Amino acid sequence: MTSLVDHFKDQLTGQLKLLFGHPVASMTGGLPPAFPKPLGNGNSKKRDPLLEERARGLLHPLAPRLAPLVVVGWNSRMRTTAGVAIAARWEVWLNPALREISEDEVGKTLLHELAHLLAQHRHGRRRLSPHGMEWREACRDLGIPDEKRTHQLPFVGRRMKRRYQLRCPGCGESHARVRRPRRRIACLACCRAHSGGAYDDRFRFQIMSLENS
């Protein structure tokens, strides 16, 4: 009886190995190796272990719980943007063209984007102004007190037609966008002035198409 059970265990383990490409846990114990974190966007994003280790080292004295969560890498789809921070997933993606400018510029952009993650980590779910006082405080703690909102870099990008206009029904402020927003977004200035920075549907942007304008 025991040999028959072992036979079926071996068969199942072999089938799973063919499906997933690596040995799996046996039925008597042990864990399979962890799957890599999905990155999305096909092959455009590539994690950089050295930059990731560097970022975690910079953050650890300031936010030890955040540091091990941070993912850092390169996004080949970037054209005119030096870097981007995605606080919802604690990710920083850099433009590969930075490497052609200088290692110093890579370091500056990394710190700039890490400041966004640090600011959001410190303030939880509170909605922050992208380059407001919370971000500036994080910049000071990371050693870049005079950091600017943007870097003037010689990127060559394609010009994309703005297809949509977003208008606030409260203050009338408008923004042109290439793509239609996938989620509800509201005017930050009005939300800060009238609802403590929390999302307020009264100031949800009205979306108008510019295709025929």
Structure tokens of 116?
A: 């966004």
Distant-in-sequence contacts of 192-195, Cβ < 8 A, 24+ apart: 192/129, 194/170
CATH 3.30.2010.10 maps onto the chain at: 45-141
pLDDT band at 22 (very low <50, low <70, confident <90, very high): very low
9 alpha-carbon distance from chain centroid: 41
H helix and E strand count, the chain:
6, 7
pLDDT band at 29 (very low <50, low <70, confident <90, very high): very low
Is residue 168 classed exposed, middle or buried when 0-12, 13-18 and 19+ CB atoms within 10 A define those classes? buried
Residue type, 141: D
Residue 62: closest CA among 147, 144, 134, 142:
142
pLDDT of residue 150: 79
Using CA of residue 131, residue 104, residue 78, residue 160, what is the dihedral sign? positive
Question: What's the chain's length in residues?
Answer: 213
- pTM of the complete model beyond 0.75: no
Q: Is residue 19 pLDDT above 50, yes or no? A: no
The more confidently predicted of residues 28 and 95 is: 95
CATH of domain 45-141: 3.30.2010.10
Q: Is residue 6 pLDDT above 90, yes or no? A: no
Q: 45-78, pLDDT tens digit by residue? A: 999 999 999 999 999 999 999 999 999 999 998 8
Calculate what percentage of the chain has a pLDDT beyond 90: 45
Q: How much is the average pLDDT of 186-193?
A: 88
